Amino acid sequence: MNPLMPSLSPAALSWLDPFGFGRAAFDYWRDAVERSTLYLDVMRQRGNQYLEHIEQTKPNVLGFESEVVIDGRELSRPVNYELMRILPPDGVETDPLMRPFVVVDPRAGHGPGIGGFKPDSEIGVALRAGHPCYFIGFLPYPEPGQTVEDVVEAEVAFLRHVISLHPDTAEKPMVVGNCQAGWQIMMAAALEPDVFGPILIAGAPLSYWAGERGYAPMRYTGGMSGGTWMTSLLSDLGAGLFDGAWLVQNFERLNPANTWWDKQYALYSRVDTEARRYLDFERWWGGHVVLGGQEIQYIVDNLFVGNRLSTAQLVTADGRRIDLRNLRSPVVVFCSRGDDITPPPQALGWVRDLYEDTDDVIANEQTIVYCVHDTTGHLGIFVSGSVSRKEHAEFTANMDYIDVLPPGLYETTISRAEDRPDAELIERDYLLEFQPRSVEELDREIQHRPDDDRRFATVARISEINLGLYRRFLQPWVRALATPESAHWMRLMHPNRMGYRLLSDRNPLMVPVPVLADMVREDRHAVGEDNVFRALERVASSQISHGLDAWRELRDRSTERLFLDVYGQPLLQALVGLGGDAHAHRRRPGAEPEHRRFVARRREEIRAKVAEGGSHEAVMRSVIHVLGGAPATDGRNFQRLRASRAELEPDITLADFKHLVREQFFILENDPEAALAAIPHLLEGLDAEAIDAHLEHIEHVLAASGELSEHAAQRFERIRALFEHSKPATTDSPTGAPASDTGGSAPPASASEAPGAVPEPATTKPANRRGRSRKASPRRRTPSKADD
């Protein structure tokens, strides 16, 4: 019996309370007291866990065993980062010949390890796919004098070492950067593009001025605080160190309903089952780290307020310009409309900032793939198990295909295989499709507004003025008064840190809590969800949450309105030097003369290769031409094409295959008519049987995606006509006149049949390998050896 609760006999209760309301009230009251005791005990455990975690030399929430490969503190320019090799768990084997997979952890105020926090994380998905995995994490305190550029150079050094550990792997490492780590690895890839394979950035802000009005409150923070001078003030008060708890507090302020009520009520209402999950998350959320004053000032000045990354205005200390157009690896951008920290415009706006149109993307030989989730929040993008099992699993499984996608801009959609009419053609549970997009179509997601650019440019100018005034008049005094001891006590007294300490065992008032919690667990009296007072509790909780949401919406709308009104004043803009209407506040970086010469030289090289090659080039060119006219494509074509290509040339590598695909794409892009007209020349010397085999192979590859669209079918018929026209003539007719080996007469002489001309496309749809029209089978077929 629980000594905290009095007891009455059931008979007495029935006589006193014939309708059961009193009994329900008593049961609810007893359950509420017990839940409150258990809740307080969980908070005590949270506090103890926090203290134990921050007192570790290398705190980490990484859910996998690992070993340190390189300690960044031992580099020539020391940093508090380290490269770790992930040790596969029992029952999981990795192939050292597969592409290495590197996850870079975000350093945005919280502790390290979130990229491998759960078994169903980015690392877990890659391990199960057989990839050797590495993790770039960090330590709680920066090295003296450490800068953002030092960290970028360290990450480049880490990747070079990973490449050296896999000398027999032709593919460069796939690199994943979450949140802050995303823009950091993009900077590294812009400086050293040769060490990067495909890049996946999840929830990473790159275009900081972008955002849809009403849905991006965080972008107004710099303007409402008068610029970045407060960052410098907090760093000076911290004796050169910036407490990451301030960044965490900014995140929490975005959603007060979740911070102040929903998260805590979820624990309280299900305290018997929710404690473990809550404590696991809080171990990371409360693991505040420290950033160097130089680092955070560089970030807020150049990125958050200055927006210099997406417009190629950043220059390193040794004079190198950080231009994201230098990337040569495919970039996959994963974002969500439910993310209020990095909304899609901030994750995708850099494409519009850098490239004028899709032709500009192609001219830079860049492949950009983006996926916009509808609902998941910021952390859910790289923590949610459901997202990792679907989006991240599909990205990992299709990364080789993404690596050979022709340059351009693509949007991905993920559909469940069983919901599709061509389910029998799909080997996995989900299908990742790629829809070609234009910069104009992307702009509908970004919702760029030039008048907002002028406002944010005004903020940047005012920030520079206020920072200069602070450094001139206040900074000497603040630095003279701040000491390492005062900085230490300031961090201890931060409200986010104090909340953990006050509810730990170091508070004498918490001594009886574990004893009472154990007594409750021994004799727990939980009430069912059908209890009327429990239902009223849920209603009250919902009203509190909705009230906080309403207050947040009012706050955000008021902040946005104030920002737009203040920084939209023409007089203020003129006072900071932005009065001219012709001033470009977000100027698209122009092409360097060297880049223009490179593009011109590349076009000449491609033009000279139109008629170079043989049947393999003809087949690849044909497939690209047909798929280029389709509304979407996916990895099934790639798997079939690569498998059959390997049969023809067993020693083919992915790098060679990628080169072939891209060369043929550029040839078609540069002059499609000349490229198609050259196909008969590429097939010269082949007999009719070999040409038929190649044509059948093309048809087999195209059949992987189901029925072709009408436009793609017309393109295929044009290819068929070109292959038929390439067959050598025979002299089997009685008159000795040449006839085609298909039994028909020779093509009539016409302008379309002149040397180098392309036959007119037919309008019939292609047949499958047995000559029948391709239709979806009602049953899932068993993959054949040909499919492998």
Own/partner pairs, 306-310, CB within 8 angstroms, 24+ separation: 306/460, 307/207, 307/208, 307/209, 307/456, 307/460, 307/586, 309/183, 309/186, 309/187, 309/206, 309/350, 310/206, 310/207, 310/208, 310/349, 310/350, 310/353, 310/354
Max mean pLDDT among 19-28, 554-563, 660-669, 745-754 falls in 554-563
Amino acid letter for position 440: E
How confident is residue 761, by pLDDT bands cut at 50, 70 and 90?
Answer: very low
Tokens of 723: 């292959």
Q: Are 23 and 532 in contact (CB under 8 A)?
A: no
Percent pLDDT > 70 in the chain is 82
Could you report the per-residue pLDDT of 307-325, keeping only the tens digit for each?
Answer: 999 999 999 999 999 999 9
Mean pLDDT in residue range 291-305: 96
Q: For the ranges 147-151, 188-192, 340-344, 590-594, which has the lowest average pLDDT? A: 590-594
Q: Three-state SS for 1? A: coil
pLDDT value for 442:
93
Tokens of 541: 């909780």
Model pTM?
0.84
Q: Are 682 and 611 in contact (CB under 8 A)?
A: yes
How confident is residue 454, by pLDDT bands cut at 50, 70 and 90?
Answer: very high
Enumerate the H helices of 609-653 as residue ranges. 615-628, 635-648
CA distance 765 to 712: 9
- Residue 526 sits at φ, ψ, to 5 deg, of -80, 140
Q: Are 44 and 534 in contact (CB under 8 A)?
A: no
Non-local (6+) Cβ contacts of 478 within 8 A are 233, 236, 237
The DSSP H or E segment spanning 134 is strand 133-138
CA distance 290 to 156: 23
Max mean pLDDT among 362-371, 432-441, 548-557, 685-694 falls in 548-557
Max mean pLDDT among 150-159, 216-225, 567-576, 733-742 falls in 150-159
Mean pLDDT in residue range 520-528: 95
Q: Are 143 and 73 in contact (CB under 8 A)?
A: yes
163 pLDDT exceeds 90?
A: yes
CA angle (188 as vertex; 185, 189 as ends), nearest 5: 85
Q: Are 712 and 626 in contact (CB under 8 A)?
A: yes
Q: For the ranges 120-124, 181-185, 399-403, which has the lowest average pLDDT? A: 120-124
First to last CA, the chain: 66
Tokens of 209: 């001025």
Could you report the per-residue pLDDT of 773-782, keeping only the tens digit for each?
Answer: 333 333 333 3
Enumerate the H helices of 146-258 as residue ranges. 148-165, 180-191, 221-224, 229-237, 245-254, 256-257
Which residues does residue 367 pair with via DSSP β-bridges, in sequence order?
A: 408
pLDDT value for 406:
85
**Residue of 8 and 559 predicted with greater confidence:** 559
Q: Is the dihedral of CA 650, 651, 655, 657 positive or negative?
A: negative
**Residue of 289 and 585 predicted with greater confidence:** 289
Number of Cβ atoms within 10 Å of the Cβ of 358: 20
Q: How far is CA 585 from CA 221, 306, 323, 443, in A?
A: 19, 11, 18, 18
Mean pLDDT in residue range 697-711: 79
458 pLDDT exceeds 50?
A: yes
pLDDT value for 737:
43
CA distance 180 to 186: 10
Q: Which of 286, 752, 704 is nearest to 498 (CA)?
A: 286
Domain boundaries along the sequence of the chain = 66-209+307-447, 593-730+758-766
pLDDT value for 766:
41
CA angle (719 as vertex; 718, 723 as ends), nearest 5: 120
CA distance 222 to 474: 20
Q: 161: burial class by Cβ within 10 Å (0-12, 13-18, 19+)?
A: middle
Number of Cβ atoms within 10 Å of the Cβ of 498: 12
pLDDT value for 180:
92
Count of alpha carbons within 13 angstroms of residue 261, beta-carbon side: 14
pLDDT value for 392:
72
Could you report the per-residue pLDDT of 411-434, keeping only the tens digit for each?
Answer: 998 877 666 666 565 666 777 888
Q: Which of 252, 251, 231, 229 is nearest to 242 (CA)?
A: 231
Q: Are 559 and 224 in contact (CB under 8 A)?
A: yes
Q: What is the mean pLDDT of the chain?
A: 84
Could you report the per-residue pLDDT of 366-404, keeping only the tens digit for each?
Answer: 999 999 988 888 887 877 656 656 777 778 878 888 888
Distance of CA 2 to the CA centre of its chain: 51
Q: 333: burial class by Cβ within 10 Å (0-12, 13-18, 19+)?
A: buried
Could you report the per-residue pLDDT of 499-521, keeping only the tens digit for each?
Answer: 999 999 999 999 999 999 999 99
Could you report the per-residue pLDDT of 326-346, keeping only the tens digit for each?
Answer: 998 999 999 999 898 999 999
User: DSSP states of 151-170 as a string?
Assistant: HHHHHHHHHHHHHHH-TT--
Q: Are 396 and 374 in contact (CB under 8 A)?
A: no
537 pLDDT exceeds 80?
A: yes
CA distance 343 to 422: 34
pLDDT value for 749:
36
Tokens of 81: 């980062």
**Residue of 278 and 118 predicted with greater confidence:** 278
Percent pLDDT > 90 in the chain is 55
Tokens of 718: 């044009």
Could you report the per-residue pLDDT of 49-83, keeping only the tens digit for each?
Answer: 999 988 887 878 788 899 999 999 999 999 999 99
Q: How far is CA 388 from CA 12, 130, 397, 455, 659, in A?
A: 55, 16, 12, 38, 30
Max mean pLDDT among 14-28, 366-380, 520-534, 770-784 falls in 520-534
Q: Are 399 and 99 in contact (CB under 8 A)?
A: yes
How confident is residue 705, by pLDDT bands cut at 50, 70 and 90?
Answer: low
CA distance 88 to 132: 8
pLDDT value for 755:
36
Non-local (6+) Cβ contacts of 594 within 8 A are none
Percent helix, strand, coil in the chain, to 5, is: 55, 10, 35
Hey, which CATH number is domain 66-209+307-447, 3.40.50.1820, 3.20.20.210, 3.20.20.70, 3.20.20.140?
3.40.50.1820
The string over 539-550, giving b where at least 16 C-beta atoms fall within 10 Å of a residue's C-beta and e elsewhere, is eebeeebeebbe
Length of the chain counted residue by residue: 788
Q: Which of 669, 634, 201 is nearest to 407 (CA)?
A: 669
- Pairing between strand 81-86 and 174-178? unpaired
Q: Which of 208, 207, 179, 184 is nearest to 196 (CA)?
A: 184
Q: Which of 665, 771, 759 is nearest to 717 (CA)?
A: 759
